[in-house]
Structure 1
Amino acid sequence: MAGCQSTAPSPASPGSAAESLPRGSYTNVGATWPLKFRAHYFDAICFSTYGCRVQYGHYHPGNPSEDVLTKSSDSIPDYPNHLSAGWGPIKNFPAPAKVTWRSKDGVPHAAEIDIGEIFSDQRIRHTVKQEDAADLASSGTPGIILEVNDRTINVYMQTAIWLKQPTEPDNPLSDVQRDLIKVFSETY
């Protein structure tokens, strides 16, 4: 999927925040509810923008074109459900994300999005009831996606919660609930 994340460095880049996390320190094995997270994955995607740039911790995508309008979210099948986060894990929380872009009408914008403030309780957002979740419900490392869509910035949490029972009895691979939940939206 083209957008801001297309030239993001690989998760194993030297100096990445992942190096500061002790092995296994970000899991939810045996965790109490509500499920919380101490690290997360991140990605950014830009739709209907010019020159969209997102800086968050060590996440610095390349230089997008100032003259080419990025594709519309309408061109993405099953939007927004195919958005995903793959950079990290990142220890909670770097400084606010700095976002600069021009909307499709050419107007310049700048914003700081404080991911740490949005998720100050560090709770994993999901739709699974505790009684339906497996003992090992989550890795404890959700994805956070920052979307710039013309004049609007949305922030989503992406999770996978393991279930005690498959949702489709004939499909043993249906024992996970994947959620993408919008937790923040602001129009500029």
Structure 2
Amino acid sequence: MTQEAHGIARDRHAPSDGPSLLRRAWRAAGIWVMLATGCASAPPTPDPYRLEPPPETFSAPLPFGAHNFWGYCFSVTDCHIEYDKFDFGAFKSDNDPEFVFPAPRTDKHYRRFLSFRQTGIPNFPEPARLSWKSLDGVRHEVEIDLAEIFNDQLIWHRVPPDNMKRFYSGPSAPPPDIFIEVNDRTVNVLMAMFIPTLRARQDNDRSFHRRDFVLAWTKRF
């Protein structure tokens, strides 16, 4: 039997739509709460091997749109550092995979030796691909994403704003130097920039510039 009221026909034994409508309402409310609270995406996990930039990086910001790249291999064999479609180390390792790249000479001068350089690289190519054997004979392969390490695209330096001489015009500073060093089981990423200063250096009263090597990322494998 059916009951008619106000032009609506309904079977008196048919189940009511009330519970179904209520479930749909609660489901919609739950979805809205998830979207409103940001449950749809979690914040990225910080890289534990990335260091914090010096405070001068932000108090005297130097944006850069291109960079120079240097690759170094120390105390390893069969070392390859591939970046921007170039293999830094192939000229040694391809000819003699057992060639042992010597250890760094001194902390002050070692970056002058066994270096491989590319200049004027726009920010940023694909991650650098590293492959080498540590002195214990273990093979290592890793990718280093410079775009992630230097994601603010500011030059890491230690020159305070009251000692920095204006040395460029335009929106970007000249390209800084970025280094990847493979030293046995340790990989370091550093940045350096030649910055003119208003005051002479404490260790040389004739030198009015700074070029600090700032460690940005380091990991032992």
Common fold, TM-score beyond 0.5?
yes
Displacement of 1:34 in angstroms is 1.1
Equivalent pairs counted in the alignment come to 155
Question: 1:40: how far off?
Answer: 0.4
Deviates more, 1:131-140 or 1:43-52: 131-140
TM-score, length of structure 1 as denominator length: 0.73
Say whether the 8 Å CA contact 1:85–1:143 is kept in structure 2. no
Q: How does 1:1-80 map to 2 (within 5 A)?
A: 33-61=60-88, 62-63=90-91, 64=93, 65-73=96-104, 75-76=105-106, 78=108
- Is the Cα–Cα contact under 8 Å of residues 195 and 210 in structure 2 kept in the other structure? yes
1:140 equivalent among 174, 191, 199: 174
In structure 1, give the amino acid aligned to 2:68.
Answer: Y
Shift of 1:180: 0.6
Larger RCO, structure (CA 8 Å, separation 6 or more): 1
What is the aligned counterpart of 1:159 among 193, 196, 201?
193
Q: Please, what TM-score do these two structures have when normalized by structure 2? A: 0.63
Residue 127 of structure 1 aligns to a residue whose secondary structure is coil
Does residue 92 in structure 1 map to residue 123 in structure 2? Answer: yes
* Structure 1 residue runs without a partner (length 5+): 1-31
Compared CA separation, residues 167 and 56, structure 1 to 2 (3 A) = same
Q: Is the 8 Å Cα contact of residues 77 and 134 (structure 2) preserved in structure 1?
A: yes
Indicate whether 1:118 and 2:149 are aligned.
yes
Q: 1:129: which partner in 2?
A: 160
SS at match of 1:117: helix
Residue 165 of structure 1 aligns with an amino acid whose one-letter code is R
Contact 2:60–2:159 under 8 Å retained in 1: no
**Which deviates the most, 53-62 or 134-143?**
134-143
- Equivalent AA in structure 2 for residue 144 of structure 1: I
> Which whole-Å CA distance do the structure 2 matches of 1:123 and 1:139 have between them?
9
Give the Cα separation in 1 of the matches to 2:83 and 2:174: 20
Please report how far the alpha carbon of residue 181 of structure 1 lies from its aligned counterpart in structure 2 after TM superposition: 0.8
Greater radius of gyration (CA): 2
Output one character per residue of 1:22-74: Cα deviation in whole Å (capped at 9) or x when no partner.
Answer: xxxxxxxxxx941111100001010111100011013223241321221012x
Structure 2: gaps spanning 5 or more residues: 1-58
What is the SS of the residue equivalent to 1:60?
strand
2:212 partner SS: strand
